[in-house]
Amino acid sequence: MDFYLFLGTLAATIFTLLCSILYMVYGKIRVQENKIIASPPIMASSSSSLSLSLPSSSRSRNWEHDVFPSFHGPDVRKHFLSHIKKEFERKGITPFIDNNIERGESIGPELKRAIQESKIAIVLLSKNYASSSWCLDELVEIMSKVEGQKVLTIFYEVDPTDVKKQTGDFGKVFKKTCRGKTKKKIETWRKALEGVATIAGYHSRNWGDEAVMIQNIAVDISKMLNNLAPSPDLDRLIGMEGHMERMKPFLRLDSDEVRMIGIWGPPGIGKSTIARFLFNQLSNSFRLKAIMVNIKGNYPRPCLDEGDAQLQLQSKMLSQMINHKDIMITHLGVAQERLKDKEVLLILDDVDRSAQLDALAKNVGWFGPRSRIIITTENLKLLKAHGINHIYKVHFPSDDEALEMFCMYAFGLKSPKAGFMKLSHQVTFLAGNLPLGLKVMGSYFRGMSKYEWERVLPNLWSHLDGEIDTVLKFSYDTLCDGDKSIFLHIACFFNNEEIKKVEAHLANKFLNVRQRLDVLAQKSLISFDQDIIEMHSLLVQLGKEIVRKSYPEPRQRQFLVDDKDICQVLTDPTPITTSVVGICSTDTLTWFNLNVNERTFEEMSNLQFLRFKRDSEYPNMASLPGCLKHISPKLQLLDWKYSPMTCLPFTS
């Protein structure tokens, strides 16, 4: 008995020991995972740091001051500092003022708090800056800045190299201040000076006009503050964390190479939002940066003078990049000459023509090491033709993310209000998880009662919102006539059909059907899921809307896709034209007991596609079999489940 008791005790001890070991191993694995997930910002160079992450709480914290200026009063207070403060006042920039703080051997808690509560710290380095231990302690505090804070340097009548190495007159002053100080204190000051001297800034010896330079500095600070300001949309950027994680391999911020990255996807999916977010995250790490928005919309159409349009485009980009208004250029080589050795961040949003890329970023040789050029477009072929191989495809958000996006705009909450769950799911389904659709529809329904939702929702199933329609139709308008026609065929008949079947049905009407389908795919108007053609539900609605607007009278249209219009045409005694190529009915009840004349289809001599989407629940549409006896011999597709007919007797 004692032996078995011993074995039991031993087993329990071994089990406890194994659990402890497993817990320790698991803990180490979790620590390693956390280290990977929360990895520090990747260093792009010795003098700059680029990081890619979601906005932290520091971006939305309540800063007390826009700017904290660190300076040596006797050098700059009477002239430069007073002028720049006036310029700040004109631009609504609020600096911290330390007039009431008594200066001593070291800075006190009040000043430390002021530094921590300022969005931007401006270090105004002058020849006697290092003569003040107070200034040097301020600098140490600034260089250990809180997350989200930015540092700007101004070298006022002092050489950056002298600051970094503590040489020249600046070095002599510094050494004098170091007398009697501990080695630890001196080393702390040295590291702070070395760090601040490597931050890109302004050099007074390069100024032609101090007044102009003060204005430029104020403009740059104003832009920095704009970038730091939390966007009201940032709280609604559901799914952005996933986008940023997936984009890291494309951006490779740790690489010195010049990279062009494409962001590709259908209209309204959020390409521009991702690009703007990237610019917000990265712009303060680049001395030269520009974001060119809505290039497609701002480019002249038709473009009668391509060369002049390109020059204007490059001029706007350079003006923004080097902060010089209305730069005039005479040839497209100016950008390359000005930027070939510069580290730049350039966002080109909504590009749709190769001429635009030729004007703004012809090749990687136009830019200096570590530059990143990010292009958003709906046209995959355009990116590949420009030699861009790093292409991020933007996918639709998940159902949960789509519902959350919609609710943020509709309710200002991450989930539906009580009683609105089913309706909210219906709207997100209608929007097809397209972010633009979710935003527009959410904004549309915001503040409505449940009764109003129920009253309005049925209309949205047949009519697109104007803003969505405008965005989606832009891509359609760029197509040639043949590609437009194929787009309409897919929207009205061939969505979710096999590619081979679609090619077979359209081969007699169009040359190179597969090539045209590829064009639609490259422009993100359709996609291929293995062998199936898929078109987004909002694009399907767009196609049907285009058909409706083509002719006010349904009988004159190429396709009949609304059951009310179909019933009107088939029961109207007025002769039907030969325009109708296809009829697609979606509502069984509309056809139930419909009185259709036997010769209704006889005049539809060009009818090729006929589809009845109906259930076995309504097995009899008695009048249809008779009228189909006179249907056009051109008919290629008859999709009619539960048809009472065993054959289709065409007339000659």
What are 459-505's pLDDT values in tens digits? 777 666 666 776 677 678 878 999 999 999 999 999 889 999 999 99
The string of DSSP letters for 285-338 reads G-SEEEEE--HHHHS-SS-S-HHHHHHHHHHHHHHHHTT-TT---SSTTHHHHH
User: Does the residue 510 lie in any domain?
Assistant: no
User: Does the residue 221 lie in any domain?
Assistant: yes
Cβ-proximal residues to 93 (8 Å cutoff; 6+ apart), any chain = 66, 67, 218, 221, 222, 225
Rounded Cα gap, residues 292 and 90, in angstroms: 27
User: Does the residue 45 lie in any domain?
Assistant: no
Domain boundary among 186, 209, 227: 227
Structure tokens that stand for 486 in this block: 């194929």
Sheet holding 637-640, edge to edge: 559-560, 582-585, 609-612, 637-640
Is the same domain home to 615 and 645?
yes
Query: Which amino acid is present at 119?
Result: K
User: Does the residue 646 lie in any domain?
Assistant: yes
Is the same domain home to 452 and 560?
no
Tell me the CATH number at 237: 3.40.50.300
Is the same domain home to 368 and 249?
yes
Establish how many alpha carbons lie within 13 A of residue 81's alpha carbon, considering only the half-sphere containing its beta carbon: 20
pLDDT at 383: 96
Is the same domain home to 305 and 365?
yes
Rounded Cα gap, residues 458 and 440, in angstroms: 16
pLDDT at 496: 86
pTM over 0.85: no
Tell me the CATH number at 185: 3.40.50.10140
Is the same domain home to 386 and 416?
no
Cα dist. 14→3, 9, 28, 534 in Å? 17, 9, 21, 59
Structure tokens that stand for 378 in this block: 């709906």
- Span 172-222, pLDDT tens digits: 999 999 999 999 999 999 999 998 988 878 888 888 788 888 888 888 888
Q: Catalytic residue at 138?
A: yes
User: Does the residue 50 lie in any domain?
Assistant: no
Is the same domain home to 112 and 204?
yes
Rounded Cα gap, residues 423 and 214, in angstroms: 56
pLDDT at 180: 92
Is the same domain home to 417 and 389?
no
Question: Strand 527-529 and strand 532-534: pairing?
Answer: antiparallel
User: Does the residue 533 lie in any domain?
Assistant: no
Is the same domain home to 169 and 221?
yes
* Host H or E run for residue 119: strand 118-125
Phi and psi torsions of 150, nearest 5°? -115, 150
Domain boundary among 430, 445, 461: 461
Structure tokens that stand for 140 in this block: 């140490």
Cα dist. 300→48, 306, 355, 467, 470 in Å? 38, 9, 12, 21, 17
Q: Computed over its alpha carbons, how large is the radius of gyration of the chain? A: 34
Task: Using the structure block, give the residue that is written with the tokens 């190179």.
Answer: 512
pLDDT at 343: 92
Question: Strand 48-50 and strand 42-45: pairing?
Answer: antiparallel
Is the same domain home to 122 and 168?
yes
Domain that holds residue 601: 551-652
Question: Strand 532-534 and strand 372-377: pairing?
Answer: unpaired
Domain boundary among 338, 359, 393: 393
Is the same domain home to 380 and 419?
no
User: Does the residue 13 lie in any domain?
Assistant: no
Residues of the chain with pLDDT under 50: 1-7, 9-50, 55-59, 105, 234-235, 589, 615-620, 622-623
Cα dist. 270→178, 275, 394 in Å? 55, 9, 8
User: Does the residue 512 lie in any domain?
Assistant: no
pLDDT at 481: 93
Rounded Cα gap, residues 228 and 284, in angstroms: 9
CA angle, 96 then 108 then 184, to 5°: 115
Is the same domain home to 301 and 420?
no
pLDDT at 584: 87
Rounded Cα gap, residues 357 and 354, in angstroms: 5
Total tally of structural domains belonging to the chain: 4
Helix (H) and strand (E) counts in the chain = 28, 17
Rounded Cα gap, residues 250 and 66, in angstroms: 34
Burial class for 467, CB neighbours closer than 10 Å (0-12, 13-18, 19+): middle
Is the same domain home to 558 and 439?
no
The catalytically annotated residue of 138, 141, 404, 545 is 138
Q: Where are the alpha helices (DSSP H) in 535-646?
A: 537-550, 563-571, 588-591, 623-627
